[in-house]
């Protein structure tokens, strides 16, 4: 299988993760205006599963290092399967809760609470599991990225004309979603061998871990997303018939969104041996700022914003860039 053997390439892969995780949501904007998120989400999950399988059968099955994809799946212990499947289910529930929190309380509440909490707790949890990198520099960098996320949320609040519908309920959902989001990467890492070249018997290598993780998302979606369809946070309830009424184009856009996210997940996991789980996860969760770049420069969400809001955006990008540089330096 394809394996990364040096830290600079691992950092490059983490940057690809950041770009993918911060960009996949653009596909939702490209979907038809009446296509609800709950319906889009089915195709998004399908895209994750399909691309994880493609990665396993290609990059996961070439080269002399490690184990081949199918061979790896056949030798893994039940505990590895359960850990990766649980990681997928936890991620799926966290993702849905944070989206629901944004719908209820707005980005200004949900993002700093949900994503900020996931970033800080996730880096701590993954660093404890494998202490790789300078802890002082790592957490200084994470703190700066967190400040950038908060500034991003405040800028949205200043620029938004919409009033939050239910701040209290949204805050609770964001808290739960953020805590859950901080654990999914750790669960996937627990299913994997720490040595990709000579992997431990009974443990997954990166490609099989990501594939089983994606199955966890897919299977849990029949519970979590079905509940969201029946009891949506906004709008009327939906049926499976509504999903099948979508055009081929709108389904394809959702699958593309999932494929983009899966590239990010796969690259992050592949990089984690050289960069360490904490740095891989921390850099990946900088995706919030990539999404902010899209919002500011492509979708023009801050067109006509006040000088104060523009200053917040400048400070946000400065904190983000400095924080990312420090996180990278922590691994040298």
Question: Which residue carries 């949506």 as its tokens?
Answer: 232
DSSP state of 60: G
Per-residue model confidence (pLDDT) at position 13:
97
Strand partners, 192: 204
Ranges of each domain in the chain: 7-330
Burial class of residue 57 (count of CB atoms within 10 Å of its CB; 0-12, 13-18, 19+): middle
287 touches 111 (CB < 8 A) = no
Summarised one tens digit per residue, pLDDT across range 237-286 is 999 999 999 999 999 999 999 999 999 999 999 999 999 999 999 999 88
Burial readout 172-189 (b: 16 or more C-beta within 10 A, e: otherwise): bbbbbbbbbbbbbbbbbb
Summarised one tens digit per residue, pLDDT across range 185-229 is 999 999 999 999 999 999 999 999 999 999 999 999 999 999 999
Residues of the chain with pLDDT under 50: none
273 touches 194 (CB < 8 A) = yes
Which residues are within 8 A (CB) of 161 and not within 5 positions of it... i.e. 6 or more apart?
Answer: none
Cα 122 to Cα 181: distance, rounded to the nearest angstrom: 8
Per-residue model confidence (pLDDT) at position 288:
84
């Amino acid at each position: 299988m394809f394996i990364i053997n040096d830290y600079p390439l691992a950092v490059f892969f983490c940057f690809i993760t950041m770009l993918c995780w911060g960009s996949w949501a653009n596909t939702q904007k490209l979907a038809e205006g009446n296509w609800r998120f709950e319906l889009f989400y089915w195709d998004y999950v399908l895209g994750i599963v399909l691309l994880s399988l493609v990665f396993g059968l290609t990059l996961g099955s070439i080269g002399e290092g490690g184990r081949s994809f199918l061979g790896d799946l056949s030798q893994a212990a039940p505990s590895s399967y359960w850990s990766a499947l649980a990681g997928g289910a936890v991620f799926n529930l966290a993702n849905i809760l944070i989206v629901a929190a944004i719908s209820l309380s707005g980005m200004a509440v949900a993002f700093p609470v949900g994503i900020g909490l996931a970033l800080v707790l996730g880096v701590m949890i993954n660093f404890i599991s494998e202490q790789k990198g300078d802890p002082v520099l790592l957490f200084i960098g994470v703190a700066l990225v967190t400040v950038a996320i908060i500034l991003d949320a405040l800028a949205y609040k200043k620029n938004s004309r919409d009033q939050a519908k239910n701040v209290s309920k949204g805050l609770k959902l964001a808290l739960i979603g953020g805590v859950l989001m901080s654990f999914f990467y750790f669960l996937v890492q627990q299913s994997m061998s720490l040595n990709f070249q000579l992997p431990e018997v009974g443990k997954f290598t990166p490609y099989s871990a990501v594939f089983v993780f994606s199955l966890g998302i897919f299977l849990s979606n029949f519970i979590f997303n079905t509940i969201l369809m029946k009891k949506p946070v906004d709008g009327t309830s939906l049926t499976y018939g509504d999903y099948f009424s979508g055009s081929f184009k709108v389904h394809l856009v959702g699958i593309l969104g999932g494929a983009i996210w899966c590239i990010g997940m796969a690259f992050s996991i592949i990089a984690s041996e050289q960069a360490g789980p904490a740095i891989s996860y921390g850099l990946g969760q900088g995706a919030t700022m990539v999404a902010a770049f899209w919002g500011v420069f492509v979708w023009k969400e801050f067109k006509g914003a006040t000088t104060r809001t523009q200053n917040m955006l400048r400070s946000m990008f400065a904190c983000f860039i400095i924080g990312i540089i420090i996180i990278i330096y922590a691994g040298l």
